[in-house]
């Protein structure tokens, strides 16, 4: 287990921090000493999330943000620095997704997901760069992707393409910004139970049980599994890790390839 001061003194911005995996990362970071800024479109949900963190003794604030808008993202990053004094960790977690066979996907449907996932991640990295470079802990970017971006994702070409793009962006920045002390990594969760992602992709279409069987471990992961990986990468424990894609998927990827 991590000690209570694992992220002491760090400031983290988590996009999509008001729900699901993003909220779990934010809650865990705050418990381990970080100050967290939660960004997303639904302000009410963000406020409720921040309140649950502060009630548990953590430091949290919110900034309503649509990551498709560069100016809003830049404003959120500046608000974070004004409020907490620095920005040390950026977690690009916000995403949009829906199942739609490619032949029926409209250009706007394609653009919407590319805008949220890929462009939103680029905007965050770009606007955060000077602050991450100034971090006394060494800057850290973590983007949440999926190995379905590597394998291809029938029924979700938009999300597959966006996530593959984020992987390429992250590996590029790991090299470009390594000299600035900024580490850039991705995490690839497998199917995580009790999330909007798994609901949309598998539960709603009755494929939940099949998806669990497709993992080597035979079950969905927990949000905490992803938060633990995000702590490791953001903390000094991961100080020499950059350009990595940390797969936390219960063997879903390997089973896909091996069987
Ligand atoms: C086909 C669809 C569609 C659907 C939307 N569109 N939903 N097309 N099937 N189910 C099309 C619309 O018709 C429209 O195109 C375009 O997409 C934009 O739709 P809007 O509703 O106007 O978009 P917006 O209000 O901006 O909402 C964005 C969204 C929405 C992505 C569509 O679902 C959302 O806000 N999602 C956020 C939450 C989320 O998706 N969480 C899951 C992340 S999980 P036209 O041409 O009609 O204008 C994940 C991976 C999970 O990423 C992995 C599991 C293993
Ligand atoms: P989720 O709860 O729906 O999280 C997505 C978050 O993104 C929401 O909080 C949403 O907040 C935010 N968001 C969406 N569009 C946005 C926009 N335009 N601007 C700002 N924020 C926006 O889903 P989740 O399942 O936890 O997914 C979290 C991440 O994990 C995603 O990157 C997803 O691709 C990845 N992932 C999930 C799984 C899984 O099993 N669930 C597996 C692999 C990867 P608002 O609605 O308030 O904007």
- Convert the pLDDT of each residue in 54-88 to its tens digit: 999 999 999 999 999 999 999 999 999 999 999 99
| 117-165 pLDDT per residue, tens | 999 999 999 999 999 999 999 999 999 999 999 999 999 999 999 999 9
Cβ proximity of 88 and 12 under 8 Å: yes
**What is the spatial distance between Cα 54 and Cα 7, in angstroms, rounded to a whole number?**
16
Shortest-distance atom of ligand 2 to CA 221: 40
Task: Look up the CATH number of domain 11-246.
Answer: 3.40.50.720
Query: What is the residue-wise DSSP string for 188-221?
Result: EE--BSSSHHHIIIIITTT-HHHHHHHSTTSS-B
**What is the spatial distance between Cα 55 and Cα 78, in angstroms, rounded to a whole number?**
25
Task: Sketch the domain layout of the chain as residue ranges.
Answer: 11-246
| Mutation to probe ligand 1, out of 98, 114, 189, 223 (largest number of atoms < 8 A from CB) | 98
Cβ proximity of 6 and 29 under 8 Å: no
């Amino acid at each position: 287990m991590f000690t209570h001061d694992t992220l002491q003194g760090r400031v983290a911005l988590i996009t999509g921090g008001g729900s699901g995996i993003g909220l779990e990362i934010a809650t865990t970071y705050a418990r381990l000493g970080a100050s967290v800024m939660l960004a997303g479109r639904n302000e009410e949900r963000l406020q409720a999330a921040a309140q649950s963190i502060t009630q548990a003794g953590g430091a949290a604030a919110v900034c309503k943000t649509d990551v498709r808008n560069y100016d809003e993202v830049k404003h959120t990053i500046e608000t974070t620095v004004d409020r907490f004094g620095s920005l040390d960790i950026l977690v690009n977690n916000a995403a949009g997704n829906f199942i739609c066979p490619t032949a029926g996907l409209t250009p706007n449907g394609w653009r919407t997901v590319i805008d949220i996932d890929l462009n939103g991640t680029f905007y965050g990295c770009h606007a955060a760069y000077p602050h991450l470079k100034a971090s006394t802990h060494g800057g850290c970017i973590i983007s949440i992707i999926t190995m379905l971006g590597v394998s291809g994702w029938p029924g979700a070409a938009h999300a597959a393409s966006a996530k593959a793009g984020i992987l390429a962006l992250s590996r590029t920045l790991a090299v470009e910004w390594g000299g600035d002390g900024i580490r850039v990594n991705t995490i690839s969760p497998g199917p995580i139970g009790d999330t909007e992602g798994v609901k949309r992709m598998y539960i709603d279409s009755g494929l939940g049980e099949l998806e669990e069987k497709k993992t080597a471990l035979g079950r969905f992961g927990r949000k905490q599994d992803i938060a633990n990986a995000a702590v490791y990468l953001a903390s000094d424990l991961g100080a020499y890790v950059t350009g990595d894609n940390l797969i936390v998927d219960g063997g879903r990827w390997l089973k896909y390839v091996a069987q």
